[in-house]
Structure 1
Amino acid sequence: MNEAVLFPVRLSLQVAATATAVLVAVTVPLAYAFARGRFPGRRLLEVLFSLPLVLPPTVLGYYLVALVGRRGLVGRWLYETTGWTPVFSWWGAVLASAVVAFPLLFHTAVAAIAAVDPRLEQAAFTLGHSRWRTFWRVTLPLARRGLLAGVVLAFARAMGEFGATLMVAGNIPGRTTTMPVAIYNAFISGRMATAGTLVLIHTGVALFFLWLVRGARGSEAPA
């Protein structure tokens, strides 16, 4: 296990963990609003939120560069104001991974929260609990299995992102080379031992997280 293997593994775990943390903070409250609320444009937003599931990662990467690149809609202002850009940095990998993994967590969280009996929340309201406290004390604990499954799936998807990451973060050795990018590099350069090692590590991690999802969702059949 040399640095050509260890660095991509560390970076992929770092990127996936950061992207998942950002997604949880943004997506869980958003999923609650969709599971419990009815508002104009809801269906359109659901369609837009599902786009990363069907668009090629390279298309998503193009949109992200057009948005946050140095000449992008937001990126130009960000760079002129702070002198910083997420493009060609590990933060670009975080952004790309978060966008690609977002639908998995969003739809799973909406389903998990929608499955909670609203009468239990109404009971908490009648006892004087605020909506915020009810969300934390009633809704989240009851939806925890589905939410945990969504978090695990989002983490695994974020760690495996390739196309959008390559376009936004680039392929800079020692800086932005995640595991999928490192596997591609090793394969096209004929370093089959390195590629095979990374493939086995990635497969092992994916199997581990799929096992976690199975445990989070529970199983009616005997193990």
Structure 2
Amino acid sequence: MQILSPDEWTALLLSLKVSTIAVGASLPLGVWVALVLARSRMPGLWLLNALVHLPLILPPVVTGYALLLTFGRKGLVGAWLDRLFGFTFAFQWTGAALAAAIMSFPLMVRAIRLAIEAVDPKLEQAASTLGAGRLWVFLTVTLPLIAPGIIAGMILAFAKAMGEFGATITFVSNIPGRTQTLPSAIYSFLQVPGAELQAARLAGVSVTVAVGALIASEFVARRVAKRIGGA
């Protein structure tokens, strides 16, 4: 008995691909932004914080439309990318990854920021007084201590990216085999009379993946925290 049809497998695998790339590509920036928000005292920091969390406040369709205006083939950045490199985000799976990364970025940053704020600055200061540079202090002191927070942020971002729909369908449409992710496939089935069973099946797959990701994140975070505590 076949669990999913070939088209449904394609949508699931594309969602996994998009979510993984979205999280991996945005992680370095997420750690840096979280570090700035947690440690910096520069003026205007509230503006950066507002920009980071803006995708959580705006309707996803508005975010998707903004992406279309910016990264579309005739957009501010998209036209330049298309002209120089022949590359475009709009109506491509790469655009779905970009939309997923932007929508999940606030959750990642928030989890990592909370982890950084929980680190005692005196530990970092002690390493600095021993002659360690700022980068070395971060790599050897701060990074190991915030590792559980980074893992939690990555999993939260992954789960959000897997469920992203509004910005994605606005920016890259719903093209089967090309930009149709799991939520888009569920939406398509709901538009077809008598396809409720297929929609429910994909919804069940989506829930299973999300729960599995959360369980995995809890397990890994606990292992990392235990290893740090025993170090």
Shorter-chain TM-score range:
over 0.9
Shift of 1:143: 1.1
RMSD, aligned α-carbons: 1.4
Shift of 1:66: 0.8
Q: Which residue is equivalent to 2:65?
A: 62
Q: Which residue is equivalent to 1:183?
A: 186
Counterparts of 1:185 and 1:33, CA distance in 2:
41
Mapping of 1:203-214 within 5 angstroms?
203-214=207-218
Amino acid corresponding to residue 193 of structure 1 in structure 2: L
Structure 2 length normalisation: TM-score? 0.90
Contact 1:5–1:194 (CA under 8 A) maintained in structure 2: no
Structure 1 length normalisation: TM-score? 0.93
Q: Which residue is equivalent to 2:225?
A: none
Q: Which residue is equivalent to 1:32?
A: 35
Counterparts of 1:102 and 1:9, CA distance in 2:
21
Aligned residues: 218
Contact 2:11–2:176 (CA under 8 A) maintained in structure 1: no
183-192 or 101-110: which moved more? 183-192
Counterparts of 1:111 and 1:7, CA distance in 2:
36
Q: Which residue is equivalent to 2:99?
A: 96
Counterparts of 2:116 and 2:66, CA distance in 1:
30
| 2:125 pairs with one of 105, 122, 125 | 122
Counterparts of 1:160 and 1:204, CA distance in 2:
12
Counterparts of 1:12 and 1:126, CA distance in 2:
47
Q: Deviations over 1:16-74 (max 9, x none)?
A: 00000011121102211221111121011101211111111100001111111111111
Q: Deviations over 1:67-120 (max 9, x none)?
A: 111111111111111222110000000010001001001111111111111111
Unaligned runs of 5+ in 1: 219-223
Q: Deviations over 1:154-198 (max 9, x none)?
A: 000011100111011211111110000000111111322321211
Shift of 1:217: 6.1
Counterparts of 1:203 and 1:96, CA distance in 2:
21
Q: Which residue is equivalent to 1:145?
A: 148
9-18 or 115-124: which moved more? 115-124
| 1:41 pairs with one of 41, 44, 50 | 44
Q: Which residue is equivalent to 1:221?
A: none
Contact 1:64–1:168 (CA under 8 A) maintained in structure 2: yes
Q: Indicate whether 1:106 and 2:125 are aligned.
A: no
Counterparts of 1:8 and 1:166, CA distance in 2:
13
Counterparts of 1:184 and 1:2, CA distance in 2:
16
Shift of 1:214: 4.2
| 1:161 pairs with one of 156, 160, 164 | 164
Counterparts of 1:54 and 1:30, CA distance in 2:
19
Unaligned runs of 5+ in 2: 223-231
